[in-house]
Amino acid sequence: GQQVMQIPQYQHVQEGEDFTTYCNSSTTLSNIQWYKQRPGGHPVFLIQLVKSGEVKKQKRLTFQFGEAKKNSSLHITATQTTDVGTYFCAGRDHQAGTALIFGKGTTLSVSS
Amino acid sequence: DGGITQSPKYLFRKEGQNVTLSCEQNLNHDAMYWYRQDPGQGLRLIYYSQIVNDFQKGDIAEGYSVSREKKESFPLTVTSAQKNPTAFYLCASCWDGTMNTEAFFGQGTRLTVV
């Protein structure tokens, strides 16, 4: 079945450093979504990318969707302690239909 | 307030007992999902439902059962057949599972089987 892989699994940075997490799907996706889960919390939707090659920005966060619609990335510029948490990508296979499949997530820790 | 509610937040059960986790949403969403979260494993799909009275197995459905008798409710039963039921369970809903819409998550239920 469809698999969504994310790397790295863990990342520690100093406050002010940049951070990137990568997401790869075994199949072509209809869209890719990104979620953030704070420690002890539940996943919260950040953004959705639909078009091939799409790039979206939210303040210090930049999201990209690959040309083949099989990979994506999330880049955070100048991390802050409030960025701490686990970032998940999730996608729907463009053929198989409707189940939202999540990657294993990247857990970001930030030291000040 | 509109939202998705899971109860209880913490649940303890003895080994061999079935237990049902509640998930209710008042967002008028058609699609609902159950995920299991273990450390380092991300979110793994257990079951999902696109419409009332219909549901499909996810990647790890063995030992679990669901029902979707009402649009608002999607309870998950963890049966005694589930080999390792201790985990954090998350319920989510989407406006329509066939469209490009975001998922809203409940607060989760942490199940501990002793």
The answer, for A102 touching chain B at a CB cutoff of 8 Å, is yes
Can you tell me the distance from the alpha carbon of B74 to that of B84, in angstroms, rounded to the nearest whole number?
22
* Residues of chain B contacting residue A98, judged by C-beta atoms under 8 Å apart: 31, 48, 50, 97-98
Q: How confident is the model at residue B71 (pLDDT cuts 50, 70, 90)?
A: very high
pLDDT at B29 over 70: yes
pLDDT at B96: 77
The answer, for A103 touching chain B at a CB cutoff of 8 Å, is yes
Q: Check if the beta carbon of residue B5 is closer than 8 Å to that of residue B91.
A: no
β-strand partners of B36: B44, B89
State how far residue B108 is from chain A, nearest Cα, in angstroms.
Answer: 7
pLDDT at A32: 94
Q: Strands B64-66, B76-78: parallel, antiparallel or unpaired by DSSP?
A: antiparallel
Amino acid at A73: S
Stretches in chain A below the pLDDT threshold 70: 96-98
Q: Strands B31-38, B4-7: parallel, antiparallel or unpaired by DSSP?
A: unpaired
Torsion sign (Cα): B35, A104, B58, A96? positive
pLDDT at A93: 79
For chain B, state the CA radius of gyration. 13
What percentage of chain B reaches a pLDDT higher than 70?
95
